[in-house]
Structure 1
Amino acid sequence: MVTSFEALLPEPQVDEVSVRILDAALAEYLDHGLRRTSVDEVARRAGLGRATLYRRFASRDELVQAVLVRESRRFFAAINDAVESLPTIAERLVEGFVVGLRTAREQPLLGRLLQSEPEFLLPFLTIHGGPAIAIARQFMADQYRRSPEYRANTEVDPDEFAEILVRLSMSLVLTPQTCLPLETDDDVRATARRYFLPLLKS
């Protein structure tokens, strides 16, 4: 069954050459950042000619976008794998928050860009963050609705509830300094149960 993140984020080209290019581009971005990485350097790292790269990705911006989409798909896949077998909305909420926060904290490219090129990344997560929030909100709301116990007549609107959690999660990733106990997965789990689950009451 197609999951919501697969519909929201179409998969980049997945032939062997395209995968080599995307892997090489990610490695270059991690080593040198986006601004200092050229198409020529990516092609060289992939062991390919510049023309071969451009046949798959028509511009530098298209290549950057393809890498970001692939990393985003991996992020949502990690959450989806963690929650899809859980039977209740509460369990899906708690584990999704735990895995999402941990994965975002450990995501190498996100960490690299936040540290070295925040001026590139931050607008897409703040003042121009509408599309990113919409994708994450739809993914989370879909997980809510797919729970076996979901009832359409609940007083909790899945989209509104999901947006609150998405915005809070983004804030914790971008500004990790907090008085909330979030050091370990168990801390995150306990915090989610204490403050998020009461919002689910109908």
Structure 2
Amino acid sequence: MTRPGAPLPSLFGRAIERVSSAPEADDGVFDAALAVLAERGTRAATMDDVAARSGVSRATLFRRFGGKDALFEAALARALRGFLEEIGTAFLTVTDPVERIETAFVACLRFRRRFIAGNSDPAHGATLVAMLSTGDPSPLELGRRFIAARIVAGQAEGVLPAADADIQADAIIRLTLSYLVLPSALYDLDDIEVARSVAREAIAPLITGIPG
């Protein structure tokens, strides 16, 4: 019988603590682990599944990680670090506030697909909310603080109008989360250009005050 794994929010919470030390190697193994996790969930997923997907033997996986929970934690930590690096790079290299929002929104959608795999089952959406709400501060709160800080900086630079940055950041986080949890049936957010259009038309005006 397959041993039930730790709930995804618990794995994600521990992965957050490991972000700075997430392994550099084993990209193929970690990609396989995330794919299996997205398809089967923590209860049904097994080391055999990851071994079959990655081409690395079950014995080798156990020797290197000790068990499936540790493997999934490491894979999530690696994915989270990559996401944070992508967002950080975007905000360093992109100066236009609207383009920054477009880039960050696309990155959020891509990150969601890594472990939800486009599954629209409400249970998967609930898992995502629980995962992003885990920790003190949680990823959602860290995201809100980051956005608020960038809004304040933009206001100081004169590229954004004066407003309550905390309220704006909270609204952006909540709106973005709704797209992650309840993908629209009206348009395909897997299409990057469509996703950027949604960010430009629906999210950016929250801070620019200018219709998309």
TM-score range, shorter chain: 0.5 to 0.7
8 Å CA contact retained: 1:82, 1:99: yes
8 Å CA contact retained: 1:21, 1:46: yes
**TM-aligned CA distance change 1:109 to 1:133, over 3 Å:** same
TM-score normalised by L of structure 1: 0.64
Cross-structure match for 1:9: 19
Residue identity matched to 1:197? T
Whole-Å separation in 2 of the counterparts to 1:32 and 1:168: 28
Q: CA shift at 1:58, angstroms?
A: 3.3
8 Å CA contact retained: 2:22, 2:77: yes
Q: Identity, % of aligned pairs?
A: 25
1:76 pairs with 73, 84, 106, which one? Answer: 84
1:116-195 → structure 2 map (5 Å cutoff): 118=124, 120-125=127-132, 128=134, 131-141=138-148, 143-144=150-151, 149=156, 161-177=168-184, 183-195=194-206
8 Å CA contact retained: 1:12, 1:69: yes
Structure 1 residue runs of 5 or longer lacking an equivalent are 1-5
SS at match of 2:138: helix
1:27 aligns to 2:35 (yes or no)? yes
Structure 2 residue runs of 5 or longer lacking an equivalent are 1-15
Cross-structure match for 2:3: none
Whole-Å separation in 2 of the counterparts to 1:150 and 1:110: 37
Whole-Å separation in 2 of the counterparts to 1:144 and 1:38: 44
Q: For residues 29-48 of structure 1, what are the alpha-carbon distances to aligned partners after superposition, in whole Å with 9 as ceiling and x for unaligned?
A: 35544433201322343333
Q: CA RMSD in A?
A: 4.0
Residue identity matched to 2:200? R
Q: CA shift at 1:174, angstroms?
A: 1.4
Residue identity matched to 1:14? E
Query: How many residue pairs get matched?
Result: 183
Whole-Å separation in 2 of the counterparts to 1:172 and 1:97: 14
**TM-aligned CA distance change 1:26 to 1:7, over 3 Å:** closer
